[in-house]
Amino acid sequence: MAKKIIILASGNGSNAEEIMRYFKVSSVADVSCVISNKREAGVFERAKSFDVPCVWLNKSYFESNEIVNYLNDLKPDLIVLAGFLLKIPKKLIQLFPNKIINIHPALLPKHGGKGMFGKHVHQAVKDSGDSHTGITIHYVNENYDEGGIIFQAQVGIDSNDDPDSIAQKIHKLEHKHFPEVINQILNK
């Protein structure tokens, strides 16, 4: 029986799309639901093209006990944050220990924490003068970007790179590695 992946996303959903594409042809797992806290999130259109059910839940729902009941009823084997911008409540982390993962567009512990997402991260990398950056896939704990690191991949950057070109390099790493790492986790 295939394992269940739930994706939480707040935005466009390119990582979610790559995960759905990867597991559409997998016998290991399938994406059983995409949940977003943004009613107009682009991830919904991407999920529909894969016939994956979509649910919009507002921020207050995530802060209530209802989210615990909702996710518990879905019985996910893994909850994947793919550009999800709300902090995960402690009660969910306790209910799903080491079953919630996130991807961060930098090499943690550098350039992580509250407010460090998307272009903010890429600008921080550029401003720091780092010669490389990358992605970090990690478990989610009570603090932003501080959970145990599962996987990292890096890419070089040079003085000609700007936040947009850094973002393009990061997206390539994310799209290549995120589905593969999810598959490895589910095969343990």
CA nearest to 140, candidates 102, 107, 185: 102
Beta carbons within 8 Å of 156's beta carbon, 6+ residues apart? 131, 132
Number of domains into which the chain is organized: 1
Mean pLDDT of the chain: 95
Residue 12's CATH number: 3.40.50.170
Residues with a known catalytic role: 104
CB burial readout 140-156, b (16+ within 10 A) else e: bbeebbebeebbbbbee
Q: What is the pTM of this model?
A: 0.96
Q: Quick one: pLDDT at residue 69?
A: 87
Rounded percentage of the chain residues whose pLDDT exceeds 70: 100
pLDDT digits (tens, 9 = 90+) for 84-117: 989 999 999 999 999 999 999 999 999 999 999 9
What are the residue ranges of helices labelled H in 42-87?
A: 43-48, 59-63, 66-74
pLDDT digits (tens, 9 = 90+) for 124-145: 999 999 999 999 999 999 999 9
**Would you place residue 122 in the very low, low, confident or very high pLDDT band (cuts 50, 70, 90)?**
very high
- Geometric angle at alpha carbon 26, from 153 and 76, rounded to 5°: 80
pLDDT digits (tens, 9 = 90+) for 147-183: 999 999 999 999 999 999 999 999 999 999 999 999 9
Q: Quick one: pLDDT at residue 165?
A: 97
> Which residues span the domain enclosing 61?
3-186
Q: Give CA–CA dist 183/178, Å, rounded.
A: 9
113 three-state secondary structure: coil
